[in-house]
Structure 1
Amino acid sequence: MGRSPHRLLVLVSGAALALGTAAVPAAASVNSADHLISHQHNASYSSNWSGYAETGSGYTSAAATWTVPSVSATSSATYSSAWVGVDGDGNSNLIQTGTESDYANGRAQYSAWWEILPAYSVTIPGVTVHAGDSITASVAKSSGSSWVISLKDNTTGKSWSATKTYSGPGQSAEFVQEAPTVGGSQSAVAHFSTFNFSNLKVNNAGPGLVSSEKIILRQNGVDYSTPSDPNSAGNGFSVSYTG
């Protein structure tokens, strides 16, 4: 079954517009736009992203470690993705890799994937992901348009790495817990367990996150996924389901 691209976040005058679709086991449309959500209370609000994004120029790598969150049963299908990436905030490019924690077809489902827009995401072979596993992942420019995408399951020791071609502008770096679009519609957020993003790096250095950079996932007036303030080093935070 085909898997569809992950979604973009575009910040426009303090509002968040989500574009595209996400890597989930369902047919989904590409580049379906969501409504604008206003910027309030020193945070950005998005219908599909929660976490942190650094914006500017010259971003050539991003890396993070996180624990794959578990998901609880829901009466209908719900979805979530944890990932690290470069670009996608303010432009239509994106290189990323991460893990999926979904509740669909009556069961919890977990997987690892990588993606370069506008192509579809690809399930990472040989790395079987479980809830509670520690994951370290990165995307990094090596030279020219060559980038290395890497993901390791620290719990099982299984790892994967590949060199891919990417020519995005390097205008942002992200650490995100996402609710994807499925079948052309914004998905409901999976009821995921609280987990941490840690050891964050941008261009091989700590990103120095500040609380005003946080992105809260809000749908229909409800905050479903909320990041904590950064830790004292500015290189980690937790994300909680708050719906």
Structure 2
Amino acid sequence: MSRNPRLLVLVSGAALAFATASVPALATDTNAADHLISHAHNASYSSNWSGYAETGSGFTSAKATWTVPSVSATSTSTYSSAWVGIDGDGNSNLIQTGTESDYVNGHAEYSAWWEILPAYSVTISGMTISPGDSITASVAKSSGTKWVISLTDDTTGKSWSATKTYSGAGQSAEYVQEAPTVGGSQAAVAHFSTFSFSGLTVNGANPGLVSSEKIILRQNNVDYSTPSDPNSAGNGFSVSYTG
């Protein structure tokens, strides 16, 4: 199912930068906007991102393993997506792939997807995603503007891979649990179970995450999705629903 691209607006003091983010595979007619609204207590705050982002230049691959979180029942539809990607923090490009955990129309929905902005995202067909599944996903430059997007359900053994054209600047790498904007409005965050990102790499090496890179998802002055500090190796963290 197609998903519309989302615009990320980063705010740090007087500096303003524009970038993009994913939109959930199961949401229709979506159009989101991220806002990193402040930097305090060794963390950044976003209206729909939580996790970690590495910034700089020369990023050509990112990889992560995570456990698909379950979602509990909510009175209205709620959304969340876990993903790994390149770009999107500080520019208007993004290549990414991930999984969706939503509670829509009275039931939980799970899927896998990939996306290259500005095109819509695409659900990966032929893969049944279930809560608790271990997912390993990556985006990696092969040569020139050719990139390989891969996603494997380690639990079921099903995998998907495709070579796509992408010409982003390679200025960031992200490991994110996100809530989208749906139908032109910021979606409520799905009540997802605590889960972990592990085995993170950037350009084939340990990203060396530090706690100051933490991004907390905050809406209406409430922290809804909060990542832990990085593990001792700097290549993993957990994320909890804290709303």
Q: Is 1:22 matched up with 2:23?
A: yes
Question: 1:82 is aligned with what amino acid?
Answer: A
SS of the counterpart of 1:37?
Answer: strand
8 Å CA contact 1:180–1:186 kept in 2: the answer is: yes
Q: 4+ runs of 1 displaced by more than 4 Å?
A: 14-21, 32-36
Inter-partner Cα distance in structure 1 for 2:66 and 2:22: 23
Structure 2 counterpart SS, 1:212? helix
Q: Deviations over 1:156-204 (max 9, x none)?
A: 0000000000000000000000001100111000000000000000000
Query: 1:58, 1:192 → 2: CA distance?
Result: 33
Contact 1:18 1:46 in 2 (8 A): no
Relative distance call for 1:35 and 1:159 in structure 2 (3 A) is closer
The match for 1:213 is: 213
Report the Cα distance in structure 2 between the residues aligned to 1:66 and 1:151, rounded to whole angstroms: 11
Q: Is the 8 A contact 2:19 2:88 kept in 1?
A: no
More displaced, 124-133 or 217-226?
124-133
Q: Tell me, yes or no, if structure 1 residue 13 matches structure 2 residue 12.
A: yes
TM-score computed with the length of structure 2 as normaliser: 0.94
Between Structure 1 and Structure 2, how many residues are aligned? 240
The answer to whether structure 1 residue 112 and structure 2 residue 112 are counterparts is yes
2:81–2:179 contact (8 Å) kept in structure 1: yes
Q: Which residue of 1 aligns with 2:51?
A: 51
Deviates more, 1:169-178 or 1:119-128: 119-128
Superimposed CA distance per residue, residues 74-105 of structure 1 (whole angstroms, 9 cap, x where no aligned partner): 00000000000000000110000000000001
The match for 1:240 is 240
In structure 2, stretches of 5+ residues that fail to align are none
> What one-letter code is carried by the residue in structure 2 that aligns with 1:131?
P
Task: Provide Cα deviations, 1:101-124, integer angstroms capped at 9, x if missing partner.
Answer: 000011000000000000000001
Matching residue of 2:146: 146
Measured in 2, the distance between the counterparts of 1:10 and 1:25 equals: 21
When the two chains are superposed, the root-mean-square deviation of aligned CA atoms in Å is 1.8
Structure 2 distance, partners of 1:20, 1:95, is 9
For residues 38-187 of structure 1, what are the structure 2 equivalents within 5 Å?
38-187=38-187
Letter in 2 for 1:9: L
Q: Measure the CA separation in 1 of the matches of 2:175 and 2:36.
A: 21
Q: Secondary structure at the match of 2:212?
A: helix
Partner of 2:227 in structure 1?
227
Inter-CA distance 171–80: structure 2 relative to 1 (3 Å threshold): same
Aligned mates of 1:237, 1:68 — CA distance in 2:
14
Contact 1:68 1:132 in 2 (8 A): yes
Q: Call closer, same or farther: CA 1:197–1:170 in 2, change over 3 Å.
A: same
Displacement after TM superposition at 1:22 (Å) = 1.3
Amino acid across the alignment from 1:61: S
State the one-letter code of the partner of 1:69: P
**Identity rate of aligned residues, in percent?**
82
Task: Verify the 8 A CA contact 1:138 1:151 in the aligned structure 2.
Answer: yes
> Structure 1: which 5+ runs fail to align?
none
Query: CA offset at residue 28 of structure 1?
Result: 2.1
Task: Provide TM-score, normalisation by structure 1.
Answer: 0.94
The C-alpha deviation readout for 1:117-164, integer Å capped at 9, x for no partner, is 000000012211000000000000000000000000000000000000
CA distance, structure 2, for counterparts of residue 83 and residue 20 of structure 1: 10
Structure having the higher strand fraction is 2
Instruction: Give the CA deviation at 1:218.
Output: 0.2
